[in-house]
Structure 1
Amino acid sequence: MNLVNLESVTLAYGPKPLLHEVSLGVAEGDRIGVVGRNGGGKTTLISVLAGVLRPDSGRVTHARDARIGFLAQRDELDPDRTVGELVLDGRAEHEWAGDARIRDILASLLPDVDLSAQVGPLSGGERRRVALARLLVGEHDLIILDEPTNHLDIEAIDWLARHLVARRCAVVVVTHDRWFLDAVCTRTWEVVDGDVHRYEGGYAAYVLAKAERARLAAAAEERRQNLLRKEIAWLRRGPPARTSKPKFRIEAAQALIANEPPPRDTVELMAFASARLGKTVYDLERVTLHAGGPGTGPLVLRDCTWQLGPGDRIGLIGVNGSGKTTLLRLLAGEVAPDSGRVVRGKTVRLAYLSQELAELDPNQRVLTAVEEIRKYVRVGKREWTASQLLERLGFRGEAQWKLIRDLSGGERRRLQILRLLMDDPNVLLLDEPTNDLDIETLNELEDLLDGWAGTLVVVSHDRYFLERVADRCVALLGDGRLSLLPGGVDEYLARRASGTAVTARAAEAARAARQAEAAAKEAGQAKAATPSGLSAKELREAQKELARLERRLERLAEQESRLHEAMAEAAGDYTRLAELDAELKEIQAQREAVETEWLELAERIGG
């Protein structure tokens, strides 16, 4: 049964219709991803589906008693109400606390938000999470989401994907997060030129089907075809799960990519990068760094040694607040370490894209803003004009002569990225470069970066983008180290999941230690039995054993740290990497056993 039907729906803003004679439906259990260019009509389409917008013509029919939940891009929350009032909607505490689904939503989306806090003072990201939690707590037959991954980190995005797949309701989602589309959606709608093209499967299926349609139609746009084939080649070389969803024949797509080379010629790019940069790019030597300045704020690095070499393409991962931006600012020279040394190569020509974009002259035109940096730039083996690169990143025709004050947030982001690339840097630091970019622009940006010879460090919650442009991933896990992730984002999520358990054990151990200390004080010099049931002599021996175990834990932690550093240095030697990984697992197993022994002894002492 269809929950929503659109029949010959037309809706226009100005002379050009965003939807023209569109007929489609959403059935029970559908999970649909909506893609298309910014301003192409995606939000308009889902707003019509949700009943928020009325079309100029045509008919929108909702099934009787259909429960529809809608998350808009703008979160309109009453600032005077508390988080709990908005999210829980008057449910008694015993009612929501006894519901495992609601507890999971609160723990995953609002782990650090006080339910009694007023909404008004919350940050934009916290308000977004509140709005999403309020929607997911309710029971719906159809959930419609407009950019739900905004302000979510990789863990929260992973949780949201699993949560939506587990729900029995239908889902329609607009997002530029391609990993999320593949993880959640079984169908894809592309909104283009007032029409909606429908595809079976998630993003991978959509790319394959679009290339197949284009091949059969013998499209004349050769460069666009090459870009699509390159994207397909990467998809087919990526994790197998990406191609498990397509429900159509892909022999033609296989033929398209049979002789397609890898997205990047890594060896050639490394040679170019070495020639431009020399041997040294950045060397961190025993660096300690806090996010708020020397000794203040969360710890980012503790006594860390790390090398960033010519041609390295690094994806930097961590939860919000772990210090990713602080680390980029350290490399950019905007902050100094608490201790240690940061050695920067003499030939480094740096470009740093921060989350807070530099101000552009609002009265300047787009093309002028780029040409004032440089009129020509070489990317890979080809020289591009400023106008050609602007066209690649979505500024076509008259758009190159628009005033900057008339640009949207996404257009300003694209313009700033292009200005950085036109300055011909050999080191790029990118902090959330995918914010506000549509999928087509992301494809073009990835293709540009494929041919760019230099060192790249990128922070992004867009998992697809990270896997696409970075050759290696490192993570800030809160232990003061940069941890190499040979398994990429999947390994990061697995480590975070296991780290939660370790944190719980550590908290329990700390409580037991406090109990032990209190018991020791009460025992004093008495020779009688202690409150823990141990004699004074047994208590002293137990405390000595506890100290021995603590020293053992310190040595194991040092060994683990050295192994992480060795793995980072041996990143290109897969045989050596496997040996080091086996040693690391053995050390981690020993540490877990010692922690368990320490905990049991501490509990015994604490009585």
Structure 2
Amino acid sequence: MPPLVVAERIGQSFPSGTVLEDVTVGVSEGDRIGVVGRNGDGKSTLLRILSKTFEPDSGRVTWRRDLQVGIVEQSDSLDSGDSAIAAVVGDRPEHEWMSDPAVRDVLGGLMGDLDHHAAVSTLSGGQRRRVALARTLVKRWDLLVLDEPTNHLDLEGVTWLAEHVKRRSEALMVVTHDRWFLDEVCTLTWEVHDARVDAYEGGYAAYVLQRVERDRQAAASEERRQNLMRKELAWLRRGAPARTSKPKFRIDAANELIEREPPVRDSVSLAKLATARLGKDVVDLLDVSVEYDGRPVLRDVEWRIGPGERAGILGANGAGKSTLLGLVTGAVTASSGRVKRGKTVKIAALTQDLADLDAVADDRVSDVVARRRASYVVEGKEMTPGQLLERLGFTSAQLSTPVRDLSGGQRRRLQLILILLDEPNVLILDEPTNDMDTDMLAAIEDLLDTWPGTLLVVSHDRYLLERVTDHQFAVLDSRLRHLPGGVDEYLRLRAAQPAELHVPPETRRANEAQRATQRGGQAERQAKKDVVRLERQIERLTAQIADLERAMVEASTEPARLMELERERGPLVEELERAEEAWLEVSAALEG
């Protein structure tokens, strides 16, 4: 395919070191490239150089004439004074973007739970991120560049984005730690490491296969890194055999490696250890319900958590996952029913809050860890805290670094190490993948494979959930439901729910409260304004539909033109029906 971008012998250095040296790469029409590598190794820098937003120190970058690049970076440039919808569609007339199926698809996929007229300045960081992503996706480009697009998206949002991107025709470059997304979307993988870029055919699964095979043939990879990737292979053996058939390279030797690898976890041994540490009783939720201000959050929950159980918990934001975990830890009191905990249960949670490290912000990493324990047992071998830190990616130099100077991902890893050194027997992980690159996620999964306790994981990262847990549950309509079909079953159940249940509960409650205040004088004045606004909208839409119908009569002998006019007319008719229904509701409220 014709090249869109060619970078020749580019180099880039920063005060912290060289991230790219003598790199030559190209992007062609139809390419779908996933970019992986450790945090700080230059993934985002490479994307910015190829997308015309950053000039490299050396080398040459050539772009096709008139190349149109759409880029979503990790920070947005939205105008805080705009409304959410204006930030996405600009000053396009409402009837124009409303009649565009592509725009409606993006708005539904990314902003279905947002007030379109809310000011950007009032949105949370995650909501701003989704608006910025929508602003880019409503347009067409020659090259689409996405830097961590799945951040702040829930499981359904990530699934929607993957399907949306697969339908688009542009070339794509994406940096993400979401390995499921990489597998779904990408046909090429670039690994940025040691100031170079290695190309692999296929998505994440194919990349793992090829990397292990290249390491085996060259016998150049260090033992720890090779073992980690082989554990990934053992997981792929379980999970997605179809993915390994996509790439057009010879993978017989790599598949032979897969067949020789044992399962990623020795479930029988772990279950014995867990039972020895916990006994038979861990936590039982028996017909438990939780209400806040008379509103049910969880209803009739029956869940018996056993020793060594590895469960993933799914649910939309605000569905009640945190409340469920609070029942397990004891932070939440049941409104009815009973919570029974084993006498030897010791629960620890890795939360999204890093504030617990503030107390040791001025201490060195090695000192903080050394205070906990002198050793930690992994796979029957004793490891010093320093060896455990090294296993999770800390270099010798970083052991002397004050905690305050660590990156977000390093702080998360340190937090996990401190929790493990306390030797809990029930571990709760709440969105543990934040700020982690794919190599570090593999290292954490490897460590958890040997952890002999009960593990509960809440995450929007599908790969992680399927990798470290043996079965999944979902909080749906305030009830806990087991998912024999895993994540796919959850997505089917969510798709079958009424549309109003996809709006977060806190948003629904806010809407209910707002309607309750309409009896006041201020609400009455607002309702009168709404009546006037809706009448003008109805008048405008009626006139537009009439114009289109006259044009359809004139085009009665032109089938193509007639179909085009009908496509324009359909959304306007739907909008008119909604406006008339809203007018009737507001008018009835005023009369009442």
* Range into which the TM-score falls when normalised by the shorter chain: 0.7 to 0.9
Q: Which residue of 2 aligns with 1:457?
A: 456
User: 8 Å contact 2:290–2:335 — kept in the other structure?
Assistant: yes
2:221 and 2:177 map into 1 onto residues whose CA distance is 27
2:42 and 2:9 map into 1 onto residues whose CA distance is 15
Structure 1, residues 43-93: CA drift from partner, whole Å, max 9, x if none?
Answer: 110011111111111111221111101111112211111111110121111
User: 8 Å contact 1:6–1:61 — kept in the other structure?
Assistant: yes
User: 8 Å contact 1:313–1:456 — kept in the other structure?
Assistant: yes
Equivalent runs, 1:339-378 vs 2, <5 Å: 339-360=336-357, 361-378=360-377
- Partner letter of residue 424 of structure 1? E
Q: How many residues align?
A: 499
SS in 2 for 1:482: strand
SS in 2 for 1:326: helix
Provide the TM-score with structure 1 as the length reference. Answer: 0.80
2:124 and 2:499 map into 1 onto residues whose CA distance is 29
Q: Which residue of 1 aligns with 2:300?
A: 303
Q: Which residue of 2 aligns with 1:405?
A: 404
Q: Which residue of 2 aligns with 1:494?
A: 492
Higher RCO, Cα 8 Å, sep 6+:
2
1:502 and 1:109 map into 2 onto residues whose CA distance is 15
- Per-residue deviation at 1:380? 3.8
SS in 2 for 1:224: helix
- Per-residue deviation at 1:175? 0.3
Structure 1, residues 417-457: CA drift from partner, whole Å, max 9, x if none?
Answer: 11111111110011001111111111111011111110000
Q: Which residue of 1 aligns with 2:588?
A: none
SS in 1 for 2:281: coil
Q: Which residue of 2 aligns with 1:98?
A: 99
Equivalent runs, 1:134-145 vs 2, <5 Å: 134-145=135-146
2:118 and 2:165 map into 1 onto residues whose CA distance is 27
Structure 1, residues 371-410: CA drift from partner, whole Å, max 9, x if none?
Answer: 2121212234222211111001110111111111111111
- Correspondence 1:319 to 2:324: no
User: 8 Å contact 1:236–1:243 — kept in the other structure?
Assistant: no
- Partner letter of residue 436 of structure 1? D
- Per-residue deviation at 1:114? 1.6
Q: Which residue of 2 aligns with 1:267?
A: 268
Query: Closer, same or farther in 2 for the Cα pair 1:357/1:254, shift >3 Å?
Result: same
Equivalent runs, 1:55-94 vs 2, <5 Å: 55-94=56-95
Query: Closer, same or farther in 2 for the Cα pair 1:220/1:79, shift >3 Å?
Result: closer
- Partner letter of residue 480 of structure 2? L
Q: Which residue of 2 aligns with 1:472?
A: 471
- Ranges in structure 2 where 5+ consecutive residues have no aligned partner: 503-592
User: 8 Å contact 2:10–2:20 — kept in the other structure?
Assistant: yes
User: 8 Å contact 2:310–2:469 — kept in the other structure?
Assistant: yes
Q: Which residue of 1 aligns with 2:384?
A: 385
Q: Which residue of 2 aligns with 1:252?
A: 253
2:424 and 2:179 map into 1 onto residues whose CA distance is 28
1:79 and 1:170 map into 2 onto residues whose CA distance is 30
Query: Closer, same or farther in 2 for the Cα pair 1:116/1:484, shift >3 Å?
Result: same
How big is the alpha-carbon RMSD for the aligned residues of Structure 1 and Structure 2?
Answer: 1.5
- Greater displacement, 97-106 / 243-252: 243-252
2:281 and 2:172 map into 1 onto residues whose CA distance is 49
2:354 and 2:80 map into 1 onto residues whose CA distance is 28
- Per-residue deviation at 1:326? 2.2
- Partner letter of residue 330 of structure 2? G
- Ranges in structure 1 where 5+ consecutive residues have no aligned partner: 505-607
- Per-residue deviation at 1:499? 2.0
1:172 and 1:319 map into 2 onto residues whose CA distance is 28
1:243 and 1:329 map into 2 onto residues whose CA distance is 40
- Correspondence 1:440 to 2:415: no
- Partner letter of residue 264 of structure 2? P
Structure 1, residues 474-507: CA drift from partner, whole Å, max 9, x if none?
Answer: 00112x2211111111111111112247979xxx
1:468 and 1:15 map into 2 onto residues whose CA distance is 34
Provide the TM-score with structure 2 as the length reference. Answer: 0.82
User: 4+ runs of 1 displaced by more than 4 Å?
Assistant: 501-504
- Per-residue deviation at 1:222? 2.1
1:295 and 1:64 map into 2 onto residues whose CA distance is 63
Structure 1, residues 329-363: CA drift from partner, whole Å, max 9, x if none?
Answer: 22122221222221111101111111112332211
Query: Closer, same or farther in 2 for the Cα pair 1:151/1:288, shift >3 Å?
Result: same
- Partner letter of residue 409 of structure 1? G
Query: Closer, same or farther in 2 for the Cα pair 1:51/1:267, shift >3 Å?
Result: same
Query: Closer, same or farther in 2 for the Cα pair 1:377/1:294, shift >3 Å?
Result: farther
Structure 1, residues 292-315: CA drift from partner, whole Å, max 9, x if none?
Answer: x4535xx43112221111010000
SS in 1 for 2:34: strand
Identical amino acids, percent of aligned pairs: 57
